[in-house]
Structure 1
Amino acid sequence: MVARLQGFNEAWGWQLAGRKTAQYRQVGNAFPPPVAEEVGRAIMRALAHAGQPHDMPELASATLHAPVYRLLKEADGYLTPAAILRNLTVPYDAIQLERRIAHLSKDFVIDIEETRSGPAYKLGEFKAFIGQDEHERHEAFAHRVGRSRIS
């Protein structure tokens, strides 16, 4: 029954090995066939360039993110979205700005201060791991793997 719930068809003749617990694990750890089929179809559609293309600004080149980054980097303090949009040399709307800031937050600490007119942003330090001795990932790695350093 568990295999049927996962989408395995009995007609395919799948044989599960071992005792009941081992069989449950095999089914539980398996990629459900209907999902695998849809992933395969999606890959085929992508390779065939089928469907309507759509803009994904968060995957755009770094030069599109540069104006927002530059404004935040050069600012002496916090900037509200309205101030950022006023000072940009390229046209952005509020949603695009929010996406850019979310994209920047993957690599930088973005400090947010609540003001009367809403949030204000300040670019913090670069947070990607580049081997710094004091980086928090050393400690996290030590707890998970039992090693004290990432080499």
Structure 2
Amino acid sequence: PAVYEKAPADYPNPFKDPSLGARVKFDVNISEKRTAVVDALFDQLITFQLDNLKNATKAVHEAEAALAKKDNAEARALVKEARDLIAAMPITEEQASSPEIAGAFSGGKQKGARQAELEQQWAAFARERYAQAQAKAEQALKLAR
């Protein structure tokens, strides 16, 4: 709570604003079921793909900067597609909580075959999507110049 005293006046404070609690829906049971899955997803999509992710987002930012100077509808559509590719998830929220997937991540420090298979699929998914996103953003940049 003390950290909020140093925050800007308009910064949300969950200790003073009861409406925040009504807007945040946190289910500890769902969280507990899929914590290991979410951790693995983060690693496979972000941690281990950081260079690819940075390249894709850099290309998007460059295209957006060019579009700010010279608008182009086709280029804007490509940038949107690129952003959607970057934000894509290889599994749904429901799948992450499913016994089939969540169960693959309950083996402790030793990875099981199913966990390794899923992680490889997710890493490939990320590499593919980030490469596609970068290509679309670079195409958008060419159109905006």
TM normalised by structure 1 equals 0.25
Q: Which has the higher strand share?
A: 1
Q: Which has the higher helix share?
A: 2
TM normalised by structure 2 equals 0.26
